[in-house]
């Protein structure tokens, strides 16, 4: 049946269908890998010092950009995500309505402060012409409130947390960490040793520990390719970008595994890089039709959040 369907399509349509299946397969594999790591690590954290009842409950928040229900639900039905299915059966799940024109700094700052962008101070990748950072927050962030209350905090790869603030625990910054050759307000992929204009890790001693235990770590994946970078060689450019995302994701999985086991805290917030298929497919299709612009805050087209999510 599939061969008959392919035979009836044009060459361009066949290429698109094959590309969609490849990206969807990579995406599903990435989600399963991240969730498997999470559920394997949780028992290790919870089992520590099991003879002594914990003074307070442990909370672990796992953020995954692009983890869309229309992709996750078929995987659940096929039995390919049993751990997530177990959690859903014993808890509450559903779709959440996001804000208008969503982007990572904007959405995570709302989550961190429980205040709308107009009140917390961060609306986009830039604030008053400068890269969004913790210094622009106008409302107390959760890490500050928890730390002041004596709750230990652990966070990694959360957008717009650079430079790393002081917390009762540890914090490793994520998207919009500044480094060598990074443009203002644009996602980039600096190594931990290439970070500039502030600290990416609190406490500083943890940076050396991570380097010795895990090797070199990138703070984020590369930004999506621009129109100029795609023109004339779309397939290899997209493939190279996806390979970079996969490589950074593997680094972060090792990082999360280490943090969950070696540095458990009362509250942990970890954000995984899992590029959703819609963003990757929109990148390919838009590039093929010559409609793509450079992603990031400089792209002010009204449909940017619909066709090419800036997350």
CATH (domain of 173): 3.40.720
Query: Is it the case that residue 238 has pLDDT exceeding 90?
Result: no
Q: 22: pLDDT confidence band, cut at 50, 70 and 90?
A: low
What's the pLDDT at 1?
46
Q: 226: pLDDT confidence band, cut at 50, 70 and 90?
A: confident
The residue that leads in pLDDT, 208 or 84, is 208
In a domain, 10, yes or no: no
- CA-CA distance, 279 to 298, in Å (whole number)? 18
Query: Is it the case that residue 118 has pLDDT exceeding 50?
Result: yes
- CA-CA distance, 10 to 6, in Å (whole number)? 8
Q: Once rounded to an integer, what is the mean pLDDT over residues 24-45?
A: 52
Contact 31, 64 (CB under 8 A): yes
What's the pLDDT at 2?
45
What's the pLDDT at 155?
96
Out of 16-30, 89-103, 149-163, 182-196, least confident range: 16-30
Residue 248: give the domain boundaries.
21-307
In a domain, 15, yes or no: no
In a domain, 44, yes or no: yes
Residue 138, classed as helix, strand or coil, is coil
What's the pLDDT at 164?
94
- Total structural domains within the chain: 1
In a domain, 9, yes or no: no
In a domain, 121, yes or no: yes
In a domain, 4, yes or no: no
Highest mean pLDDT among 35-44, 219-228, 250-259: 250-259
Contact 109, 116 (CB under 8 A): no
What's the pLDDT at 307?
28
For 234-250, b/e burial (b = at least 16 CB within 10 A) is beebbeebbeebbebbe
pLDDT tens-digit map of 247-262: 888 888 899 999 999 9
H-state helical runs in the chain:
2-7, 11-47, 69-77, 82-89, 104-113, 117-120, 142-148, 204-214, 227-230, 234-262, 277-288, 304-307
CB atoms within 10 A of CB 19: 19
- CA-CA distance, 185 to 46, in Å (whole number)? 39
The residue that leads in pLDDT, 86 or 307, is 86
Q: 310: pLDDT confidence band, cut at 50, 70 and 90?
A: very low
Contact 300, 185 (CB under 8 A): no
3-state secondary structure 217-252: CECCCCCCCCHHHHCCCHHHHHHHHHHHHHHHHHHH
Give the alpha-carbon dihedral of 165, 39, 215, 159, to 10 degrees: -30
CA angle, residues 168, 148, 167, in degrees to nearest 5: 25
Query: Is it the case that residue 265 has pLDDT exceeding 90?
Result: yes
In a domain, 191, yes or no: yes
What's the pLDDT at 285?
39
pLDDT tens-digit map of 133-181: 888 999 999 999 999 999 999 999 998 899 999 999 999 998 889 888 8
What's the pLDDT at 286?
37
In a domain, 5, yes or no: no
- CA-CA distance, 244 to 26, in Å (whole number)? 13
Q: 63: pLDDT confidence band, cut at 50, 70 and 90?
A: confident
- CA-CA distance, 275 to 31, in Å (whole number)? 9
Q: 20: pLDDT confidence band, cut at 50, 70 and 90?
A: low
Query: Is it the case that residue 122 has pLDDT exceeding 90?
Result: yes
Which two structure tokens, joined as six digits, stand for 69? Answer: 């229900």
């Amino acid at each position: 049946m599939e061969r008959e369907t392919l035979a009836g399509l044009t060459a361009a349509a066949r290429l698109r269908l094959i590309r969609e299946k490849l990206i969807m397969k990579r995406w599903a594999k990435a989600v399963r890998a991240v969730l498997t790591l999470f559920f394997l690590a949780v028992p290790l954290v919870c089992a520590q010092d099991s003879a002594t009842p914990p003074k307070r409950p442990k909370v672990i928040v796992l953020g995954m950009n692009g983890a869309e229900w229309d992709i996750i639900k078929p995987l659940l039905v096929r039995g390919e995500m049993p751990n997530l299915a177990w959690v859903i059966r014993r808890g509450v799940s559903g779709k959440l309505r996001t804000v208008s024109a969503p982007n990572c700094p904007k959405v995570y700052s709302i989550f961190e402060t429980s205040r709308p962008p107009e009140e917390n101070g961060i609306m986009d990748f830039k604030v008053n012409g400068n890269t969004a950072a913790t210094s622009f927050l106008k409302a107390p962030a959760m890490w500050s409130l928890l730390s002041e209350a004596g709750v230990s905090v652990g966070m990694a790869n959360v957008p717009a947390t650079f430079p790393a603030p002081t917390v009762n625990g540890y914090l490793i910054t994520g998207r919009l960490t500044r480094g060598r050759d990074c443009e203002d307000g644009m996602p980039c992929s600096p190594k931990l040793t290439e970070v500039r204009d502030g600290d990416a890790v609190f406490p500083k001693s943890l940076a050396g520990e991570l380097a010795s235990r895990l090797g070199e770590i990138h703070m984020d994946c590369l930004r999506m390719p621009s129109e100029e970078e795609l023109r004339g060689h779309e397939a290899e450019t997209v493939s190279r970008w996806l390979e970079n995302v996969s490589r950074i994701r593997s680094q972060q999985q090792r990082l999360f595994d280490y943090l969950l086991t070696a540095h458990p805290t009362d509250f942990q917030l970890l954000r995984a890089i899992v590029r959703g298929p819609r963003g990757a497919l929109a990148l390919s299709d838009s590039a093929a039709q010559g409609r793509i612009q450079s992603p990031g805050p400089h792209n002010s087209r009204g449909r940017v959040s619909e066709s090419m999510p800036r997350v």
